[in-house]
Amino acid sequence: MRPVVWLLAAAWPFAAQAQQVPAPDQTAQGDLAITIYQNNQALVQDVRTLSLTAGRVRQEFPDVSAQIRPATVTLSGPGLGIVEQNFDFDLLTPYKLMEKAVGSVVTIVRTNPATGAETREQARVLSANGGIVLQIGPRIEVLRDDGLPVRVIFDKVPENLRARPTLSVTLQVASAGRVPATLSYLTPGLGWTSDYVMLFDEAKSTIDLQGWITLTNNTGTTYSNAAVTLVAGAPSGAAAFGRLNDATVDTPGTETGPRERLGDYIFYPLAQRTTIANAQQKQVGFLDVKGTPARKTYEWTNAWLGADSDPRSAATVLKFSTAKSGGLGDQLPSGTIRVYMRDRKGEPQFIGESRVEAAPMGSAMSLRTGEAFDVKGAAVVAERKKLSSKRWKTTMRYDFTNARADAVTVELAQTGLWGDVRVLEQSLAGERVSADRMEWKVPVPANGKASVTVVFDSRY
């Protein structure tokens, strides 16, 4: 067979008999269908046509994931029964080849850089732990990375080294012939996230939103021409996608979305087959909505009935809906939304980003993009008076300033109102939105100030 040459650290070439594997630009995979979940896990279904003889035979399946979970492997086909399966995960590299050669005899080829003349010596590999130690005749030599032209030639590739991740299966075959067989397995290393690009038009109070699926492949294997389905959700038994930092869903929707589903999971099948190369990120568009109504507001929150007297910026918030009518008209898988606005020249400028929770269709959304430069607020304890041994009367004043040339509305929230906290007086009517939270919509004039005073009766 024609020898194959590798380079080790750009200094030590090796040669050995090549294995019978597909060429680098070919694959042993068949008809691929891949289901990818949001927890860095995927289900691979690979339909290959096998030429088999009757009886007990050993069949190899190269080009499976290098991170395959062997306990999840199934192989189905007419007249096939699995007797035994093995996953060979030691991949052929110069280092592995030398490591497996410890105790064996190899050929060292040295080239005189001045004359080009070659000399060959037989050497026994004594160690490959942190360096190559050789016994050449009566002497012990360390094969150094000194830039001199040296090659190591091996008689063969060890049987337990594979050029590609390979699953070997011992089968009991009922009858000889060509058999279509479906190989299925779970693997980590394949995952996806959703990323969104939002363009906010403040003058029109609308948003344009593009959604992108980002596929990531770190399995050690390229999947060629695969039918890919993405699943929004993480099945139990593996690490979840992670808790999001920003609670972007104000009110969960109750509308049924247009996407395919299986049980409680939402499916996003890609429109066309695609190749997911190893160590690659690939982006595919899945959402493009223009002119959806949206509004900008400011939020300022005070925790418990305490003072926050140092002026603090209000949060800039975009509010929109995923409803079919007047909204995006779709459900959103969790991901990151990056928001842009056009400047005076018409160029889009980045103004902030936020995580978005998985949102059913019909959800009311709040997207926090950052802190307002010129809208600030402070909370002052104007008076705290003891009414009895268990009750107190607290007078809170909330002061806001607006340095903008236009009027704004600040959505003030007071949290920590647990128990039987009651409102005795308020200068502006508010709303109790939950057991521990009240909200007020405070109008603040252009280049002006505004204050709200609220008297609470509480245990303290």
Q: How many domains does the chain have?
A: 2
Looking at residues 375-403, what average pLDDT do you find?
A: 94
Rounded to whole angstroms, the Cα distance separating 92 from 166 reads 11
DSSP string, 208-220: EEEEEEEEEE-SS
Can you give the residue range of the structural domain that contains 373? 295-316+364-459
Within-domain flag for 174: yes
Rounded to whole angstroms, the Cα distance separating 376 from 403 reads 9
| Structure token pair of residue 190 | 């394949």
- Answer whether 169's CB lies under 8 Å from 75's CB: yes
219-228 pLDDT, tens digit each: 989 999 999 9
Boundary of a domain, candidates 159, 188, 217: 188
| Same-domain pairing of 180 and 307 | no
CA distance from start to end of the chain: 87
Rounded to whole angstroms, the Cα distance separating 337 from 131 reads 49
pLDDT (0 to 100) of residue 91? 58
Nearest of 371, 250, 385 to residue 305 by alpha carbon: 385
Nearest of 430, 38, 434 to residue 251 by alpha carbon: 434
Within-domain flag for 65: yes
Within-domain flag for 201: no
Within-domain flag for 332: no
| Same-domain pairing of 152 and 300 | no
**Is residue 430's pLDDT more than 50?**
yes
123-132 pLDDT, tens digit each: 898 888 878 8
Rounded to whole angstroms, the Cα distance separating 371 from 352 reads 9
Boundary of a domain, candidates 150, 171, 188: 188
Rounded to whole angstroms, the Cα distance separating 403 from 406 reads 9
- Answer whether 85's CB lies under 8 Å from 168's CB: yes
Within-domain flag for 286: no
Nearest of 91, 289, 145, 302 to residue 206 by alpha carbon: 289
Within-domain flag for 346: no
392-409 pLDDT, tens digit each: 999 999 999 999 999 999
The per-residue pLDDT of the chain, averaged, comes to 85
CATH number at residue 415: 2.60.40
169-220 pLDDT, tens digit each: 888 899 899 999 999 999 999 999 999 999 999 999 999 999 999 999 999 8
Looking at residues 339-347, what average pLDDT do you find?
A: 92
- Answer whether 137's CB lies under 8 Å from 175's CB: no
- Answer whether 241's CB lies under 8 Å from 39's CB: yes
- Answer whether 369's CB lies under 8 Å from 339's CB: yes
153-162 pLDDT, tens digit each: 887 777 666 6
| Same-domain pairing of 299 and 171 | no
| Same-domain pairing of 175 and 310 | no
Give the burial string for 14-26 (b: 16+ CB within 10 Å, else e). bbbeebebeeeee
Nearest of 189, 267, 191, 256 to residue 232 by alpha carbon: 267
Nearest of 365, 334, 349, 369 to residue 195 by alpha carbon: 334
- Is residue 357 classed as helix, strand or coil in its secondary structure? coil
CA distances from 47 to 31, 86, 179, 182, 432 (A): 5, 19, 10, 4, 59
Lowest mean pLDDT among 80-84, 198-202, 384-388: 80-84
| Same-domain pairing of 160 and 309 | no
Rounded to whole angstroms, the Cα distance separating 218 from 451 reads 55
Within-domain flag for 272: no
- Answer whether 45's CB lies under 8 Å from 75's CB: no
Map tokens 């999001």 to a residue: 244
Within-domain flag for 156: yes
Residue 171 β-bridge partners? 57, 82
pLDDT band at 444 (very low <50, low <70, confident <90, very high): very high
Alpha helix segments (H runs only) across 26-162? 94-100
Spacing of C-alpha 410 from chain mean position:
35
**Is residue 152's pLDDT more than 90?**
no
pLDDT (0 to 100) of residue 244? 35
Boundary of a domain, candidates 164, 188, 212: 188
Rounded to whole angstroms, the Cα distance separating 240 from 336 reads 17
